[in-house]
Amino acid sequence: MMNLYISIMYMILMEKLRISTYIATQWQLFINSSKQSLKCVLLYNGNLFGAVLIGHSVCLWEDRYKDIKRVIYLLQYHIHQWIIYVELKTVCFLLGQHCGYTK
């Protein structure tokens, strides 16, 4: 089973970080994934606030697509509609490309 820690109480989290107003369109979701871990971070558009860690997993299942799909569902992406950013290695990882494969 995947050990996944997700904060779905964004308003309480933002209040604790002294972020007074939360407007979903001003935030972006950054997902970093590797073979062993997955991290989800909210980034503010104007660099006014630091990164807010909202999801972390240290043990993933074999099916990475289902892991990412589950995380996006648990983060309630359908409500917030953040722009999603990932590293190029995550794109390659999701496409099934191996290290050193350049085509």
**What count of other Cβ atoms lies within 10 Å of the Cβ of residue 68?**
20
Percent of the chain with pLDDT over 90: 1
pLDDT in tens, 47-80: 788 888 888 777 766 666 677 778 888 888 888 8
Cα distances (angstroms) measured from residue 33 to each of 18, 45, 58, 71, 75: 28, 22, 10, 11, 16
Task: Please answer whether residues 39 and 64 qualify as being in contact, where contact means their C-beta atoms are separated by less than 8 angstroms.
Answer: no
Q: Give the residue-averaged pLDDT of 24-48.
A: 84
Mean pLDDT in the chain?
76
| Residue 7 in this model has a pLDDT that exceeds 80 | no
Q: Give residue 103's pLDDT.
A: 55
The answer, as to whether pTM is greater than 0.75, is no
Q: In sequence order, which ranges of the chain are alpha helices (DSSP H)?
A: 10-16, 64-74, 77-80, 88-95
Task: Please answer whether residues 61 and 67 qualify as being in contact, where contact means their C-beta atoms are separated by less than 8 angstroms.
Answer: yes
Q: Which CATH class is domain 1-16+23-95?
A: alpha beta
4 — pLDDT class (breaks 50, 70, 90): low
